Structure 1
Amino acid sequence: MANVLVVGSGGREHALSWKLSQSSAVDTVFTAPGNGGTRDNVFVAAEDIGGLAGFAEKNDCFTVVGPEVPLSMGIVDLFRRRNLEIFGPTGGSAQLESSKIWAKQFMKGNGIPTAGFEVFDDRKEALEYVASTPHPVVVKADGLAAGKGVFVCSDAAEAGDAVDAILGRNVFGRAGSRIVVEERIDGVEASYIALCDGDTVVPMAASQDHKRIYDGDRGPNTGGMGAYSPTPAVDAEIAAKIQSRIIEPTVSAMKGLGLPFQGFLYAGIMVRDGEPYVLEFNTRMGDPECQPIVMRMDFDLYEYLLECSRGRLSRLPAPRWKSQSAVCVVLASRGYPGKYPRGEEIAGLGEVRDGMVFHAGTRRDSGRVLTTGGRVLGVTALGSDLRDAVSRAYSMADKIRWPHKHCRTDIGSWGLSGADQAAL
């Protein structure tokens, strides 16, 4: 029996811990630092990679890294130097996410379909460029910004405001010392996540995220307000194109650079006129995409992650997936992604009987569950089809209450027929 250490404190980490604990080969799943929903929490910060290595060594753990920051810090490199087994990409490989400029130049150099772009570190030059560009643009901070460093702009004025925010007001600190300005590609967005061991690539179930804070994809970007799987945005034909034109060439090119990619490779995809383009790469499982994806898993996740970390994915059969649909509705604190209240007591968790409530921004205090973050809970349900899963998830969400609770009411609506959308 093995012990597992899951690094992180969000809904993704709760979902991974929950699924890994179901393996017959796993004894205890520790989560560091965890949240109000995870068990066996270890009070070591996700960024304290030395402390995490010490805990894993002492408790003989196989470690699974959830968030991007410790990956970019080189937690995998450190663990490997200490002969500790760990799942995730090295710091060099994690540049696909930790630097949007590095990733865009990598894609351009290797013929991977993505939007045209320019790079700036000078505010005046960037403002002149966005004012003269005839097409709408997307402005991105180069570094990690918790999903909030991307501004999808409709006109030059919005693009100028985004440039001012990043290069002028320095809202993202060092992460925004340089920016990418790229052509805005309009279409249907989807999340395509694959398990990679450096050579072999195994696709996970496709999903669709909802980034904006308000219904109808309005308002600022967030870390994600909900997700569902599967999605009609990625049919068999589109999936084959993503696999052959994006994922496999990326893994091959990374190996050619001496940066073999092991871990979850997440491609944020825009499908336009039947063709997929990469919006961005992430080098870890998505959040909230992880929640519906793990609900549909019909295989031992621990076995796949362990063999992946050992470069032996090819030994395993293709993963099995439940035929049901799964939907995750994120319950957030009103005010997110800006300022929001903390420490509010959550009621109604005991009334939820169907599905799973994955915790993110929560903590326990004397038997109470309190809010601590912007994204608080991920209410996740399985259904016979997408409409059924949406109905079940919102029925669960309605039972949970706190003073400043906020959620979108249209998660999954794109995947539903017009009649089913009306039923929402």
Structure 2
Amino acid sequence: MNVLLIGSGGREHALAWKLAASPLLTKLYAAPGNPGIAQEAECVELDVSDHAAVVTFAKEKAIDLVVVGPEAPLVAGIADDLNAAGIRVFGPSRAAAQLEGSKGFTKDLCARFDIPTAAYGRFNNAPKAKAYARSVGAPIVIKADGLAAGKGVTVAMTMSEALDAIDACFEGAFGAAGAEVVVEAFLEGEEASFFCLCDGKTALPFGTAQDHKRVGDGDVGPNTGGMGAYSPAPVMTQEVIDTVMSQIVRPTLSGMAQMGMPFTGVLFVGLMMTAEGPQLIEYNTRFGDPECQVLMMRLKDDLLVLLNAAVDGQLAHMSTRWRDEAALTVVLAAIGYPDAPEKGTVISGVDAAEDGRDDAIVFHAGTKLTEDGALVAAGGRVLSVTALGKDVTAAQANAYALADAIDWPGGFCRRDIGWRAVEREAVL
């Protein structure tokens, strides 16, 4: 099969690495890719926002499957345009991608189909949003309705912080994403992520993870796109998974079908483990980043076979197998991230650090090669250092050993990724 992978981050490098291992694969292309992805695929200069250009390329190269990594092209309808041209694509339609593209859409879906989630209100102006927030009281959660690259959510511990967050949305801090705001009740508990492959009718469980969104050790500082993750998530027992499938995932899948927008692709279920049971925080309609990196490290099956089954409506006949080991990824970010990351700083020693290791890999995210072949930072989150271990404690040690072998004075990382699981393992 000829496959085109859309995207350029650590998630896409992990997907490329896993797809490249498939015996079904004939040729893998990536648009636009990155230097790490270029080790697995032929990277092509293709404007993925130009859907007509993507369709033309797919036809010219006889692409059998397009795999869409990031959320923005899905929300913009790239799957619809590829399907209309007769090109198979893994990823939801524009309508179905509203599950990520509009937080208000998802909250209304939950209300309609009795899916457990926090109480909320939707607002298109600041005075009404502030009045609702005051009526609920702090702590409270303020969310820009649209896509904001993981930065449109404020967990406000004081009313002053909540009001400032509402103002920021309506004053353009998140562009069009903040034209509408969702104000949610604060949920107390532990967060976890659950993934399912979906074919419109069937949802196939596809692993669990926990990530660290705050920039600093101890989960302090501003939210980021994710500073690290580990899998499996200890809090996601089989009993919890069964509850999430019956109360959240299956009602969502059937509800979307009822509304004429069946969901095909990967459903990323963001959960809060509360005293009343798991509740939905949000949906994403693509693999998480950096959660994808740990999932791909643990997946024993052929990813391409599974993605084909999702596209062809055959997931009811599929199952998944996972390595017993835990996987943990540490994000190396450019100094200044998430506000103003420094770009162009030189990174050395990545290949040497990986050499001879089959239990660890460095996935590239925001990197590029200079004309003289130097690897430099080209984004905020730059590398995802990912390793296996017999448990999270061992995987953590392996990942940090690999991260510390990389020479990059212009980067930093959190030193406590996986701390919840490590604390649990210490008392066992």
Q: Please, what TM-score do these two structures have when normalized by structure 2? A: 0.95
Partner in structure 1 of residue 13 of structure 2: 14
Counterpart of 1:203 (choices 191, 202, 205) is 205
Residue-pair matches, total? 418
SS at match of 1:103: helix
2:128 paired with 1:125: yes
2:396 paired with 1:396: no
Contact 1:142 1:175 in 2 (8 A): yes
**Identity rate, percent:** 45
Task: Describe how 1:105-184 pairs up with structure 2 within 5 A.
Answer: 105-168=108-171, 170-184=172-186
1:420, distance to aligned residue in structure 2 (A): 4.2
Partner in structure 1 of residue 420 of structure 2: 414
Question: Alpha-carbon deviations, 1:363-390, whole Å to 9, x = none?
Answer: 1122211111000000000111111100
2:390 paired with 1:384: yes
Give the whole-Å Cα distance in 1 for the aligned partners of 2:276 and 2:322. Answer: 25
Partner in structure 2 of residue 344 of structure 1: 345
Give the whole-Å Cα distance in 1 for the aligned partners of 2:55 and 2:182. Answer: 35
For structure 2, list consecutive stretches of 5 or more residues without a partner in the other structure: none
Counterpart of 2:70 (choices 61, 67, 84) is 67
Partner in structure 1 of residue 374 of structure 2: 368
Give the whole-Å Cα distance in 1 for the aligned partners of 2:8 and 2:179. Answer: 27
Task: Describe how 1:20-419 pairs up with structure 2 within 5 A.
Answer: 20-39=19-38, 40-61=42-63, 62-168=65-171, 170-273=172-275, 275-316=277-318, 318-353=319-354, 354=357, 355-365=360-370, 366-417=372-423
Contact 1:9 1:35 in 2 (8 A): yes
Give the whole-Å Cα distance in 2 for the aligned partners of 1:241 and 1:413. Answer: 26
Give the whole-Å Cα distance in 2 for the aligned partners of 1:148 and 1:19. Answer: 28
Contact 2:136 2:185 in 1 (8 A): no
What amino acid sits opposite 1:117 in the alignment? Y
Give the whole-Å Cα distance in 2 for the aligned partners of 1:163 and 1:400. Answer: 41
SS at match of 1:204: strand
SS at match of 1:174: helix
| RMSD (Å), alpha carbons | 1.3
SS at match of 2:221: strand
Give the whole-Å Cα distance in 1 for the aligned partners of 2:270 and 2:379. Answer: 24
Contact 2:231 2:326 in 1 (8 A): yes
**Segment of structure 1 superposing worse, 371-380 or 156-165:** 156-165
**Segment of structure 1 superposing worse, 193-202 or 127-136:** 127-136
SS at match of 1:416: helix
Contact 1:238 1:274 in 2 (8 A): no
Q: Please, what TM-score do these two structures have when normalized by structure 1? A: 0.96
Contact 1:127 1:163 in 2 (8 A): yes
Give the whole-Å Cα distance in 1 for the aligned partners of 2:51 and 2:399. Answer: 36
What amino acid sits opposite 1:231 in the alignment? A
Give the whole-Å Cα distance in 1 for the aligned partners of 2:35 and 2:276. Answer: 42
Question: Alpha-carbon deviations, 1:373-410, whole Å to 9, x = none?
Answer: 00000000011111110000000111113232111111
SS at match of 1:23: coil
Question: Alpha-carbon deviations, 1:189-219, whole Å to 9, x = none?
Answer: 0011100001111111111011111111111
